[in-house]
Amino acid sequence: MLAYVIRRLFISIPILIGSSILVFVMVKLSGDPLEGLKLRNPPPPRQTILNEEHRLGLDQPIYVQYWNWLKNLVLHGDFGPSVHSNINIGDELTGRLVVTLRLVLISVLIALIFAVITGVVSAIKQYSVTDYSFTFVGFLFLAMPTFWFAILLKTAGIAYNQATGSQTFFTIGDKSVFLTDDSAWGHVKDIAGHMVLPTIVLGLVSYAAWSRFQRASMLEVLNSDYVRLARAKGLRPRQVLVRHALRTALIPLTTVTALDIAALLGGAVVTERVFQWHGLGEFFLDSVGDKDAYAMMGWLLVSAIIVILFNLVADLLYGVLDPRIRYE
């Protein structure tokens, strides 16, 4: 298995390089990052503009700029200069990565738990009132745009706080600036309170799609020959369901979850903007607005690594769920 993991990681390197080249060229062709500086009134001295162009490498061809970025990243871990001279891209990404991963991972966990439970129950009670109810709820959340659902929950949270005169739901930021309880437990409660609404948004939107996959997969497995054989041998229904049917039915859901991580990161961009979180989503949108090529490259690299790792974990889970799968 170790050889398989190493091989997969090496295969991922050309993917990262190819995607980084594509994004780098697209960003460089999208506009001048110093446009705001040049349009100031009064305009800055010509030498100031030339110094900034040299600092950002704009006085060199695109291929030279990319090669310098790649070389400094590999050899020194340097993500390159930002349009804002007082910002270190690496430090910014590290702090914001923790914020975004906290949101995404907990949302995935919650979505998976509900998707598996409702998918299995719907498959067992096919065409029942329970099945139709879960189907209705799933399609309802599936039809909701992430930004609209986030705004709706934020508005509801604000209205509830105003009606009760309490701070039950936190609707701005990923943590409070000032805490009445500065203990470790106080920080945990504060972070958990800020996570409630954004996690519900990402979790329910993901759950809606995943529950449909789990239901379809479970129905297919329940009607398979080996499950019928297990029942014919007199195994208990719970044993047939959990040990034989559910493990196999989780394989398609594992694949879909890994593939949807990129979509979840995209949903996190919107959710973080609505709830004003200082995560990778805000960093990405600010980088796009500033035409900050090296900041966008840093965001791309971190996001691509997250997607690759999740897909690798999914491949390894196949062997756990299905003993017939072996990695050479």
pLDDT tens digit sequence for 18-67: 888 888 888 888 778 888 888 787 878 888 888 988 888 888 999 999 99
pLDDT band at 110 (very low <50, low <70, confident <90, very high): very high
Instruction: Give the model's pLDDT for residue 328.
Output: 60
Residues 14 and 67 in one domain: yes
Domain membership flag for residue 200: yes
Domain membership flag for residue 288: yes
Arithmetic mean of pLDDT, 4-22: 85
Residues 101 and 184 in one domain: yes
Residues 70 and 169 in one domain: no
Residues 317 and 174 in one domain: yes
Instruction: Give the model's pLDDT for residue 323.
Output: 67
pLDDT tens digit sequence for 261-275: 877 887 788 888 899
Instruction: Give the model's pLDDT for residue 31.
Output: 79
Residues 96 and 178 in one domain: yes
Whether residue 114 is predicted with pLDDT greater than 90 in this model: the reply is yes
Residues 107 and 254 in one domain: yes
Which contacts (CB < 8 Å, 24+ apart) does range 9-15 have?
9/312, 12/308, 15/304, 15/308
Whether residue 129 is predicted with pLDDT greater than 90 in this model: the reply is yes
Percentage of residues of the chain with pLDDT beyond 70: 98
DSSP state of 126: T
Residues 256 and 309 in one domain: yes
State which of 76, 99, 123 marks the end of a domain.
76
Residues 121 and 200 in one domain: yes
pLDDT tens digit sequence for 153-210: 999 999 988 988 888 888 888 888 777 777 778 788 888 888 999 999 999 988 988 9
Residues 6+ apart with CB under 8 A from 44: 37, 38
Whether residue 92 is predicted with pLDDT greater than 70 in this model: the reply is yes
Tokens of 48: 């100031």
Alpha-carbon gap, residue 29 to 66, rounded angstroms: 13
pLDDT band at 289 (very low <50, low <70, confident <90, very high): confident
Whether residue 322 is predicted with pLDDT greater than 90 in this model: the reply is no
Report how far apart, in Å, the C-alpha atoms of 48 and of each of 56, 171, 173, 233 are: 12, 41, 36, 82
Residues 39 and 100 in one domain: no
Domain membership flag for residue 306: yes
Instruction: Give the model's pLDDT for residue 234.
Output: 80
Instruction: Give the model's pLDDT for residue 151.
Output: 93
pLDDT band at 326 (very low <50, low <70, confident <90, very high): low
Residues 165 and 200 in one domain: yes
Alpha-carbon gap, residue 298 to 277, rounded angstroms: 19
Whether residue 133 is predicted with pLDDT greater than 90 in this model: the reply is yes
Domain membership flag for residue 83: no
Alpha-carbon gap, residue 92 to 109, rounded angstroms: 26
* Gyration radius of the chain over CA positions: 24
State which of 76, 97, 112 marks the end of a domain.
76
Q: What is the pTM of this model?
A: 0.83
pLDDT band at 150 (very low <50, low <70, confident <90, very high): very high
Residue-wise DSSP of 18-58: HHHHHHHHHHHHS--TTHHHHT-SSPPPHHHHHHHHHHHTT
Instruction: Give the model's pLDDT for residue 314.
Output: 83
Q: Which domain holds residue 170?
A: 89-321
pLDDT band at 309 (very low <50, low <70, confident <90, very high): confident
Does the bond joining 252 to the residue before it have cis omega, within 30 degrees of 0? no
Domain membership flag for residue 189: yes
State which of 76, 106, 133 marks the end of a domain.
76
Residues 145 and 245 in one domain: yes
pLDDT tens digit sequence for 206-263: 898 899 989 999 998 888 888 888 888 888 888 888 777 888 888 888 888 888 887 7
- List the CATH number of the domain containing 315: 1.10.3720.10
Domains identified in the chain, total number: 2
Domain membership flag for residue 82: no
Instruction: Give the model's pLDDT for residue 112.
Output: 92
Domain membership flag for residue 328: no
Arithmetic mean of pLDDT, 285-296: 87
Residues 237 and 152 in one domain: yes
Whether residue 324 is predicted with pLDDT greater than 70 in this model: the reply is no
Arithmetic mean of pLDDT, 1-16: 82
Instruction: Give the model's pLDDT for residue 10.
Output: 85
